[in-house]
Amino acid sequence: MVCPTPIGNLEDVTLRVLGALAAADVLACEDTRHTQRLLSRHGIEAQTVSYHEHNERARASELVGRIAGGTVVALVSDAGTPLISDPGFELVRACLAAGVAVEVLPGPCAAVTALVASGLPPDRWRFVGFLPRSRGECTRVLAGADSTLVAYESPGRLATALAGLAEVDPDRPVAVCRELTKLHEEVRRGSAAELAAHYGRERPRGEVVLVCGAAAEGAPERGEALAAVRELVAAGARPRAAAGTVARLTGVPANELYRALTDG
């Protein structure tokens, strides 16, 4: 069974999930110590084993064998729904390949909670997990979104991600959802430029979900062009020459690319 757990507030767990955790023979946990806090809060005693990104493949094979032998296994991650930027995919895939039934219980997910809280269109959206570490790739992903985009980001990289987006589409509507369901929950909404300026001054704390509206006309081209200029400069090209080369290939003005590069 795939069992979602709270993303912050320990009361945000369904009765069905609690019943499944109590009835399971073993719980496969991203961090057994973290899961134990939830179990203790709700008076559940259970056998646990670790199941995380470093042992996922080997543990999946072991667990499938146990499930095939009649053991009831409940899969949990530290917070939210397993598989959604958390371990679990290898186990589910291995179960399906072995003909073992997989039951998925509904429950909390930070991406969906942030999407609803953002105030941005939810009818068509895309989840990209954690944003790329490269500033150029990160800007390319954000700038090229043709629908509402939801991403996870670390507090330390949020300002850089927003600054890159503000360079190519400063008016893009954005929401930064921080510490969802926790004591210090905050949802800050504004343009990419406004939020880039705010988080450039004040580094956020805690878990962050970034929600961006669809790209303005022309923004994807500018974002891709700027990312290309950054890659050329990183490879050793002079900034103005790199801007000129990319401008000739893309039609984005060289001066605009050069200013965005040097201002960033």
CATH of the domain at 196: 3.30.950.10
Q: How many structural domains compose the chain?
A: 3
Q: Outline where the chain has alpha helix (H).
A: 15-23, 32-41, 56-68, 89-97, 110-118, 135-143, 155-168, 192-201, 219-234, 239-250, 254-263
Residues 170 and 236 in one domain: no
pLDDT at 120 exceeding the cut of 70: yes
Question: Long-range contacts: 49-53, Cβ < 8 Å, 24+?
Answer: 51/75, 51/87, 51/88, 51/91, 52/87, 53/87
Residues 192 and 117 in one domain: yes
Per-residue pLDDT of 195-248, as tens digits, reads 999 999 999 999 999 999 998 766 657 777 888 888 898 888 998 999 899 888
pTM for the structure as a whole: 0.81
Edge-to-edge strand list for the sheet holding 26-29:
48-50, 26-29, 73-76
Residues 230 and 212 in one domain: no
Question: For residue 3, is it within any domain?
Answer: no
Residue count (the chain): 264
pLDDT on residue 220 = 59
Residues 92 and 116 in one domain: no
pLDDT on residue 230 = 84
pLDDT on residue 135 = 84
Residues 118 and 210 in one domain: yes
Give me the mean pLDDT over the 150-177 stretch: 94
pLDDT on residue 218 = 61
Question: For residue 167, is it within any domain?
Answer: yes
Q: Residue 256 — very low, low, confident or very high, per pLDDT cuts 50/70/90?
A: confident
Residues 203 and 247 in one domain: no
Residues 243 and 198 in one domain: no
Sign, CA torsion 157/162/165/168: negative
Question: For residue 91, is it within any domain?
Answer: yes
**Domain range spanning residue 21?**
15-97
Question: For residue 61, is it within any domain?
Answer: yes
Contacts of 184 (CB under 8 A, 6+ apart): 178, 205, 206
Give me the mean pLDDT over the 119-135 stretch: 94
pLDDT on residue 219 = 61
> Whose CA is closest to 180, among 121, 114, 261, 124?
114
pLDDT on residue 228 = 85
Question: For residue 64, is it within any domain?
Answer: yes
- Mean pLDDT for the chain? 92
Domain end marker among 177, 201, 216: 216
Q: Using CA atoms, how far apart are residues 33 and 48, in angstroms rounded to an integer?
A: 9
Question: For residue 209, is it within any domain?
Answer: yes
Question: For residue 243, is it within any domain?
Answer: yes
Q: Residue 38 — very low, low, confident or very high, per pLDDT cuts 50/70/90?
A: very high
Per-residue pLDDT of 43-70, as tens digits, reads 999 999 999 999 999 999 999 999 999 9
Give me the mean pLDDT over the 249-261 stretch: 82
Here the tokens at position 23 are 């009835």
Q: What percent of the chain has pLDDT over 70?
A: 98
Q: Residue 252 — very low, low, confident or very high, per pLDDT cuts 50/70/90?
A: confident
Residues 31 and 114 in one domain: no
Give me the mean pLDDT over the 133-158 stretch: 91
Edge-to-edge strand list for the sheet holding 173-178:
125-130, 148-153, 208-212, 173-178, 186-191
Residues 147 and 121 in one domain: yes
Using alpha carbons only, what angle is made at residue 130 by residues 125 and 136, rounded to the nearest 5 degrees? 95
Look at residue 5 and give its three-state secondary structure.
strand
Give me the mean pLDDT over the 80-104 stretch: 96
Domain end marker among 97, 120, 148: 97
Domain end marker among 177, 199, 216: 216
Residues 28 and 75 in one domain: yes
CATH number, domain with residue 83? 3.40.1010.10
Question: For residue 9, is it within any domain?
Answer: no
Look at residue 184 and give its three-state secondary structure.
coil
Residues 197 and 233 in one domain: no
Q: Using CA atoms, how far apart are residues 157 and 208, in angstroms rounded to an integer?
A: 10
pLDDT on residue 174 = 98
Residues 117 and 75 in one domain: no
